[in-house]
Amino acid sequence: MKRRLLKLGLLILAGAIVNIVVAWGFSVLGVDVHQTFGPGSFVFEIRDPGASWRFTSEGEGRLFGVLTDWRGWPIHSLSSDTHVDLNGAVPIDRPSFGIVASKSQLAWSTLTFPKVLPFRPIWPGFAINTLFYAAILCLLFAAPAFVRRRIRLKRGLCPACAYPIGASETCTECGRRLIANT
Ligand SMILES: [Zn+2]
Digit-by-digit pLDDT tens for the chain (182 residues) are 788 899 899 999 999 999 999 999 999 988 777 777 665 667 778 888 888 888 887 766 667 788 899 999 999 999 999 998 888 878 899 999 999 999 998 887 778 889 999 999 999 999 999 999 999 999 998 889 899 999 998 898 998 898 988 777 888 888 888 765 44
CB-based neighbours (< 5 A) of ligand 1, an ion:
158, 160-161, 163, 171, 173-174, 176
The verdict on residue 134 lying in a domain is: no
Q: Phi, psi (5° rounding) for residue 69?
A: -130, 155
pTM of the model: 0.77
The verdict on residue 13 lying in a domain is: yes
Distance in angstroms between the alpha carbons of the first and the last residue of the chain: 24
The verdict on residue 88 lying in a domain is: yes
Whole-number Å distance, alpha carbon 24 to ligand 1 midpoint, is: 46
Whole-number Å distance, alpha carbon 139 to ligand 1 midpoint, is: 25
**Beta pairing class for 64-72 and 50-57:** antiparallel
Please report which helix (H) or strand (E) contains residue 82, including its range.
Answer: strand 78-85
What's the structural domain count of the chain?
A: 1
Whole-number Å distance, alpha carbon 164 to ligand 1 midpoint, is: 8
Residue 40's domain comprises 2-125
3-class state of residue 101 by DSSP: strand
Residues 22, 38 contacting (CB under 8 angstroms): no
3-state helix, strand, coil in the chain (%, to 5): 30, 30, 35
